[in-house]
Amino acid sequence: MSFKTLDDLTELAGKRALVRVDINVPMQDGRVTDATRIERVAPTIEELSGKGAKVILLAHFGRPKGKVVAEMSLKPVAAAVEEVLDHRVHFATLDEAEAAISKMADGDVLLLENTRFEPGEEKNDSDLASRYASLGDLYVNDAFSAAHRAHASTEGLAHKLPAYAGRTMQTELEALQKGLGDPKRPVVAIVGGAKVSTKIDLLTNLVKKVDAVVVGGGMANTFLAANGTDVQASLCEAELGQTAREIEAEAEKAGCSVVLPVDAVVAGEFKAGAPSDTVAVDAVPEGQMILDAGPQSVEKVKSWIEQANTLIWNGPLGAFEIEPFDAATVAAARYAAERTRAGELISVAGGGDTVAALNHAGVAGDFTYVSTAGGAFLEWMEGKTLPGVKALEDGGKG
């Protein structure tokens, strides 16, 4: 993987830098309730501005589908960016952009209105990309989480100007490269969560690339059932039995171990504090459901983590949102964190619920890298080409 970064940029003074960021932040009553995404891109903006560039931010917000929708204006977000940066942030629509940019001083920051107000944005329209390009001298993409979309501001524009990865994009790509691109072996993946159906591509790709896949959470039930275990009232996609067996066959061919739970914590209902029991996976009482991996399974997962030099994690091992069914996920997460802190493990995790689970376990900060990129993270782990990243690898025009 090779792409240009801000290190390749010299002589920035007076240059107009078009910077694609993801500041699709949660808002309530016109106020930003969580500025994490803004904080993530702040270093890139500050670095460019500090070197005298005129920084022009491109970003989407919500799904206005090519129309101007007043509630999806980025204008209120400009104020939040201003707070995080401690730097004045100007705002303009695309029609006002040229005039606004001509008034910018070196180091100024301007946020342009929601890119998805433009009908050509999601169609990756070449004329729109050219129109964006006419506003800048160079392009920086710092929005990894939008890189699985080939849109005018995430892909098309990268072919019209010299293109660079911003610092957040660079960090994410380098971490993912360590996790799956060129990892230190053995590599163990934990794939958990609710359903096999959402993770078929992920499992299929991982079994070819890693040394062991620990299958956990609700999706383990589908694998157990495919091998003849009666999982009773557990979440289970019986129709995917054949798919599960195919994934196991692929794994065997590739020399990858598929690790399934041997015991489980079961309950009569999906509810916090529901009376629970620990049983062997082939002894789930009638009408009960598996809501977490049992202690023997946790020991097994820990021994796989112990042998690994690299760990990739997507999906919790149980219904971690409701106690006490968070126990396996928390124990495995804390063990991975401990080995990471000791310098013995590279740990890369991602996925909405996975991030929540690691936060719940209090160890998100101890992992080597935790991706908040959602869909883009999954597509990367599925081995797919991300158009926004590919365009940077092609180096842009210049």
> Does 88 participate in catalysis according to the annotation?
no
Residues 292-311 touching ligand ADP, rule: CB under 6 A, are none
Residue, CB closest to ligand ADP: 193
Give me the least distance between CB of 315 and Mg ion, in Å please. 8
CB of 349 to ligand ADP, least distance (A): 8
Contact string 234-253 vs ligand ADP (x = CB under 6 A): -x------------------
- Positions 119 through 158 that interact with ligand ADP (CB under 6 A): none
Shortest Cβ distance from residue 271 to ligand ADP (Å)? 12
Q: Which does 354 bind (CB under 5 to 8 A by kind): Mg ion, ligand ADP, none?
A: ligand ADP
CA 315, CA 126: separation in Å to the nearest integer?
38
Catalytic residue list contains 167: no
Strands in 163-165's sheet, in edge-to-edge order, are 89-92, 109-112, 54-58, 16-20, 138-141, 163-165
Pick the binder of ligand ADP from 107, 179, 193, 261 (CB under 6 A): 193
Q: In terms of C-beta density within 10 A (0-12 exposed, 13-18 middle, 19 or more buried), how is residue 277 classed? A: middle
Nearer to Mg ion, 352 or 383 (CB): 352
- Say which DSSP state 42 is in: H
Long-range contacts of 124-131 (CB under 8 A, 24+ apart): 124/150, 124/151, 124/152, 124/155, 124/156, 125/152, 125/156, 126/152, 126/156, 128/152, 128/156, 129/153, 129/156, 129/157, 129/159, 129/160, 130/160, 131/94
Beta carbon of residue 218, minimum distance to ligand ADP (angstroms, whole number): 4
Residue 132, C-beta contacts closer than 8 angstroms, at least 6 positions apart: 18, 58, 152, 153, 157, 160
Measured CA to CA, the distance from residue 253 to residue 234 in angstroms comes to 30
The residue behind tokens 């590919």 is 390
Residue 290 in contact with ligand ADP, rule: CB under 6 A: yes
- Residue 393 touches ligand ADP, criterion: CB under 6 A: no
Q: Which of residues 354-383 bind ligand ADP (CB under 6 A)?
A: 354
Q: Is 208 a catalytic residue?
A: no
Q: Which residue's beta carbon is nearest to the bound Mg ion?
A: 353
Q: Which of 75, 195, 208, 334 is flagged as catalytic?
A: 195
Query: Of Mg ion, ligand ADP, none, which one does residue 165 interact with (CB within 5 to 8 Å by kind)?
Result: none
Q: Rounded to whole angstroms, what are the CA distances from 115 to 11, 23, 355?
A: 28, 12, 28
Counting beta carbons within 10 angstroms of the beta carbon of residue 31, is it exposed (0 to 12), middle (13 to 18) or buried (19 or more)?
Answer: exposed
195 catalytic residue (yes or no): yes
Site string for ligand ADP, 310-339 (x = CB under 6 A): ----xxx-xx-x------------------
Contact footprint for Mg ion (CB under 5 A):
352-353
Contact footprint for ligand ADP (CB under 6 A):
193-194, 198, 217-218, 235, 290-291, 314-316, 318-319, 321, 351-354
Catalytically annotated residues = 37, 195, 352, 375
